[in-house]
Amino acid sequence: MITDLAASEEIKISCDMKARFVYANPKVRADEGKACIMRGPLVYCLEETDNGENLSSLYVDTKEALTENWEEQLLGGVMSVEAKGKRILEDHWTAEELYKEQPPELKNVTLKAVPYCYWGNRKTGEMAVWIRQLI
C-alpha cells in the first residue's frame, strides 16, 4: 500500500511480541535438532559477550519457559530473552584428546539472547541463532 501521510497521521502495527521457540526443518541439515528464539517478528541470537566462548557447546531446553527482560542500559534499551539450558564442560578435556569413552559432563546455564539486528554492537565474538535442543 502506498499512501501520503499528513504530519499528524500515524501508522500503528500490532503483533504478538511474546518470546517463543521456532524449530528447524530436519531436512536443513546444518540446523537439524536446533531451535531459535523469536519475539514477534524479531529473530534473536546468542552472543559470546553474554554466554561465554564456544557457543556450540550450548544446548537449550525448549520445554522450559522463556523469560523476557527489558534492559534499559543494553544498546539504548533492548528486550533480552533468557532460556534455560546446558553447557558441555570442557575442562575435563586436554588439547590432545579428540575422543573419550565417557559422555561429556553438562552444567546448568541460563542463556541470554538479544535481537539479531544488534549483533556485534558490543564486543567482537561469536554469535549463534540456531541452538541445539536438549532431547
User: What pLDDT does 2 receive?
Assistant: 67
Measure the CA angle with vertex 24, ends 106 and 71; round to 5°. 65
pLDDT at 135 over 90: no
Mean pLDDT for 105-133 is 95
For residues 131 and 129, give the distance between their C-alpha atoms in angstroms, rounded to a whole number: 6
Domain-embedded: residue 129: yes
pLDDT at 9 over 90: no
CB 58 within 8 A of CB 51: yes
3-state secondary structure of 76: coil
Take residue 99 and report the three cell numbers written for it: 575422543
Take residue 67 and report the three cell numbers written for it: 523469560
For residues 108 and 87, give the distance between their C-alpha atoms in angstroms, rounded to a whole number: 7
Q: Phi and psi of 78, rounded to 5°? A: -140, 145
pLDDT at 13 over 90: no
List the domain range (segments joined by +) for residue 128. 19-93+102-133
**79 band by pLDDT with thresholds 50, 70 and 90:** very high
Domain-embedded: residue 35: yes
pLDDT tens string 34-47: 999 999 999 999 99
Domain-embedded: residue 66: yes
User: What pLDDT does 4 receive?
Assistant: 78
Domain-embedded: residue 6: no
CB 38 within 8 A of CB 20: yes
User: What pLDDT does 19 receive?
Assistant: 97
Total count of domains within the chain = 1
pTM for the model = 0.86
Domain-embedded: residue 122: yes
Domain-embedded: residue 62: yes
Domain-embedded: residue 107: yes
Domain-embedded: residue 45: yes
pLDDT tens string 80-107: 999 999 999 988 888 898 998 988 899 9
CB 130 within 8 A of CB 63: no
**Average pLDDT over the chain, rounded to an integer:** 92
**22 band by pLDDT with thresholds 50, 70 and 90:** very high
